[in-house]
A and B are shown apart, each in its own frame.
Chain A
C-alpha cells in the first residue's frame, strides 16, 4: 500500500500536475490545542502535507523563528512522546499526511525502533531528521521501513553527486532539497544550480521520488518560482511567524495565497 505521502503526490499528479504545498509548524507552539486548530486551518486553506516540528533544546539547523517556537513548545511541556500522542488524537480528525521533523537525540533517547513503531501506529507518515545524514541512518531506516514510516532525507547545494545518489536511494515519500547553504528562515535564491540538482535527484530516483524544496521560501512569489522546478514547496519559518503574529483572517489569506502560487 502506498503511504499517505505517496498517495498525495499521485493524486496531485492525476489532478493535473498541481504541486504539493507542504506547511511546517512547531507542535505545541504555543499549545497542543493551538496546533490542532492550526492543522485544521492549514488543511482548509489548501496545505497538502503537514510537517510537525518536534521541539528540541538545541536546534542547530534552525533560524531564530523556529528556535523561538521550539522554546515555547518546550515551555508548554511538549516532547517527542507528546507529539506522537498528539498525532494519534489528530488522526481522528484528519487524514492529511503528517511528517514529523525532529532532531536525532529525542529519537535516539526514545529508542529508534520504539519510535518507528509508535509514530507509525499513531498515524504519522514520515520523519525528517536534519542532523541525521544518510551515513548514520541505516538502523533507523530499517525500523521505519518495517513499520511503514517514510524516511525523508535532505540534499543540499553542497552535496556531491555521490551524496545526491545516497540521499535519493535512502529517501522515501519525497526527497527534501535544501534551497541554500544555511539554516531555516534565511533568504531564498532560485538558481540554475538548484534546478540542476533537482533534475539530478529526479534522474537518480528514476522519477519515482518527488523532490520538495524548503528553507527560505516565504512569499507567494518565491513559492511560485520554486514550484516551477520542484514537485513540492515547503514553507516553514514564514508560516510559524505569521501564525503567531497575524490575525486569523490575515493568516488564512496568506496561506491561501501560497496555495494559489504553488502549481
Chain B
C-alpha cells in the first residue's frame, strides 16, 4: 500500500506550504513512538490526569430491558473533560512540545475536541486558538465558555455553513499562515497523512483496555463492538486492537432526519468517493464536486466525510456501517439515562440506538461492547430545546 493510504483512501491533499510540516510531524511521531520516555509520559498522564483506564461497565438493567446479549459500556464519558477526545489532544500536545511548537490550533464542532485541546494547551503552557462555526457556538455556548476559562481564544467562523467543516477550513488557513510555530491538533482520524495514523494510535488505548477488561470479566472476546462514527476517532480507537480477532464490528453514522430526506451525515449511505480537507474518502457531495451540507442532532457526527481507514474497512467488509436517526438517538439518550443513570453524549447515543436493535437478536451469552465515547452534559440544553422544555 502507498504510504499514507488505506487501500485507495487517504493521502495528502494540502497546499505545498503545509507539505514540509506534515513531513516534520510524521518524523516526530515516528521518533516519539520509538522513545520509551515519550510513551511513559503519555501513559503517566493517561493514568494520573485523564483518569485511565476507564471502566468497562456491564449495563445489567439495559441488557435485561432489551432482552438479549449482555451489553458492556466502555466508559470514555468518565475521562477528564468528559469524552475520548482528550486521549488524542494530550498525545498531540506532547508531540507539539517535542517539536518545539509554541502554539496549538484546533477545530471543534460540539466543542469537546476544542475543550480537550485547550486543556492540553493549559497543561503544557502553550498558546491556543480554537476555530468553531458560529452555528456551533450558538448550540454549544457552555463549551465555548469552558474553552475561554482554560485560556484559549475561540474564533468565530462565519463562512460557508458555519459548522465543523468551515472551522477546519479556517484552521487549515491559520496553519498555512503560521506553520512555523504552530501545531494543528486534528481531532479525528481524518485530514492528510499522518493525522489519521496519529489519532488512531492515541485513541487505540480505548480498545486495548477494553480487550483486556472483557477477557477478565467474561473470559472471552466480545461477539460485537459498536461505536458511533463522525470523523471516526472513537470507533477507530475501539476497533483497532480487535481488527485481527473474530469480532464483528459496527460503525454507526448519523442518519439525521432519514437518508431519504437528504438531511443526514451518512457518508456510506449517501456519499461517493471524493477528496476533502486533505484526504480521499467517502464524501457527501453533489455532481459538481461541491460538498453538501449535513445534518445531525449531534454536532460531533455532523461532518461530510469520514476517516480514510473507515472507508477501507467498509470496502473490505471488515466493519459494517449503518446509521441511527436523530429520533432513535434521542430515544437511546433517554433510555440510558433512566435505566442506568448515565446521560450519554448524543454522539454516543447513536451507538446505543444501534445496540438496542442488535442485542435482542442475540443470545443471552453473547457480549456487545458499546463505546460510550462521551457524557451528555453538553447536550442537555439542546435536548431540552428539542423537547420544548423550558429550563
Q: Which residues of A contact B (CB under 8 A)?
A: 56-61, 63-64, 67, 74, 79-81, 104-110, 130-136, 153-160, 163, 167, 178, 181-183, 186
Contact assessment for B11 and A183 in the assembled complex, using a CB-CB cutoff below 8 Å = no
Which single residue of chain A is at the shortest CB-CB distance from B273? A108
Contacts A131-B13, A182-B177, A183-B176 given; does A57 touch B274 at CB 8 Å: no
Contact present for A105 and B274 (CB under 8 Å): yes
Complex: A154 Cα to B280 Cα, angstroms: 20
Query: Please, which residue of chain A has its CB at the minimum distance from the CB of B17?
Result: A156
State the CA gap A135–B173 with chains docked (Å): 21
Known: A108-B275, A158-B179. A57 touches B16 (CB 8 A): no
Instruction: Choose one: A58, A61, A64; the contact of B15 (CB below 8 Å).
Output: A61
Contacts of A155 in B (CB 8 A): 16
Given A56-B289, A154-B15, A182-B176, 6 new contacts (CB under 8 A): A57-B290, A58-B160, A60-B173, A105-B275, A110-B289, A154-B16
B176 touches A105 (CB 8 A): no
Within 8 Å by CB of A58, from B17, B177, B180, B277, lies: B277
Closest 10 interchain pairs by CB?
A109-B289, A79-B288, A106-B289, A57-B290, A156-B17, A182-B177, A105-B289, A154-B16, A156-B16, A57-B291
Residues in B with CB closer than 8 Å to A163 are: 16, 19-20
How many A-B residue contacts, CB cutoff 8 Å? Answer: 117
Asked if B276 is an interface residue, CB under 8 A from chain A, the answer is yes
A159-B16 Cα distance, complex, nearest whole Å: 7
B27 interface hit (Cβ, 8 Å): no
When the two chains form the complex, which single residue of A81, A157, A159 contacts B19, counting CB atoms closer than 8 Å?
A159
Q: What chain A residues lie within 8 Å of B280 (beta carbons)?
A: 108
Task: Say whether B21 contacts A158, CB under 8 Å.
Answer: yes
Given the known A-B contacts A58-B160, A135-B12, A183-B176, are A178 and B17 also in contact in the complex, defined by CB atoms under 8 Å?
Answer: yes
Once A57-B290, A79-B288 are accepted as A-B contacts, the answer to whether A158 and B17 lie under 8 Å apart by CB is yes
In the complex, chain A residues whose CB is within 8 Å of the CB of B14: 131, 133
A163 CB to closest chain B CB (Å) equals 6
Q: Is the CB of A178 within 8 A of B290?
A: no
A67 near B159 with CB under 8 A, answer yes
At the interface, yes or no: B325 with Cβ under 8 Å from chain A?
A: no
Tell me, in angstroms, the Cα distance from A130 to B177 when the chains sit together: 15
Q: Chain A residues near B320 (CB, 8 Å)?
A: none
Residues of A within 8 A of B160 (CB): 57-58
Interface residue ranges of B331-387 to A (CB < 8 Å): none
Q: B316 on the interface (CB 8 Å rule)?
A: no
A157 CA / B18 CA spacing, docked (Å): 10
Contact of A158 among B12, B20, B287 (CB under 8 A): B20
Q: Which of B18, B274, B275, B287 has the most CB of A within 10 A?
A: B275
Q: A135 — which chain B residues lie within 8 A by C-beta? A: 12, 19
Q: Kindly state the separation between the CA atoms of A106 and B283 in the bound complex, as whole angstroms.
A: 12
Which one of A58, A158, A178, A181 lies within 8 Å of B165 (CB-CB)? A58
Cβ contacts under 8 Å, A104 to chain B: 13, 275
In the complex, what residues of A have CB within 8 A of residue B81's CB? none
29 A/B residue pairs, CB under 8 Å, sorted by A? A58-B169, A58-B277, A63-B173, A79-B289, A80-B288, A80-B289, A105-B274, A105-B276, A107-B289, A109-B288, A131-B13, A131-B278, A133-B15, A133-B16, A133-B19, A134-B16, A135-B12, A135-B19, A136-B13, A153-B16, A157-B17, A158-B16, A159-B16, A181-B177, A181-B179, A181-B180, A182-B176, A183-B176, A186-B177
CB nearest to B287 among chain A residues: A109
Instruction: Evaluate whether A58 and B291 lie within 8 angstroms (CB atoms) in the complex, with A104-B275, A158-B179 already known.
Output: yes
Give B22's nearest chain A residue, CB to CB.
A133
Q: Considering the chains assembled together, what is the distance between the CA atoms of A81 and B289 in angstroms? A: 11
Q: Does B172 contact A (CB under 8 A)?
A: yes
Cβ-neighbour of B288 out of A64, A67, A81, A132 (below 8 A): A81
A70 to chain B, nearest CB (A): 10
| CB–CB A181/B17 < 8 A | yes
B165 CB contacts on chain A under 8 angstroms: 58
Complex Cα distance, B16 from A183, in Å, reads 12
CB contacts under 8 Å to A, within B18-64, are 18-21
The residue of chain A having its C-beta at the shortest distance from the C-beta of B274 within the complex is A105
CA–CA, A153 to B17, complex, Å?
12
B289 touches A167 (CB 8 A): no
> How far does the alpha carbon of A79 sit from the alpha carbon of B290 in the complex, in Å?
9
Measured CA separation A106–B169 after assembly (Å): 17
Complex Cα gap A114–B302 (Å):
32
Closest chain A residue, CB of each to CB of B3: A135
Min CB gap A98→B, angstroms? 20
Task: State whether B176 touches A61 (Cβ < 8 A).
Answer: yes
Asked if B285 contacts A178 (CB within 8 A), the reply is: no
Query: With A67-B159, A104-B275 known to touch, is A136 a contact of B11 (CB < 8 Å)?
Result: yes
In the complex the two chains form, what is the Cα distance from A56 to B12 in whole Å?
19
Flag B168-186 by CB within 8 Å of A: 1 or 0 each: 0100110011111000000
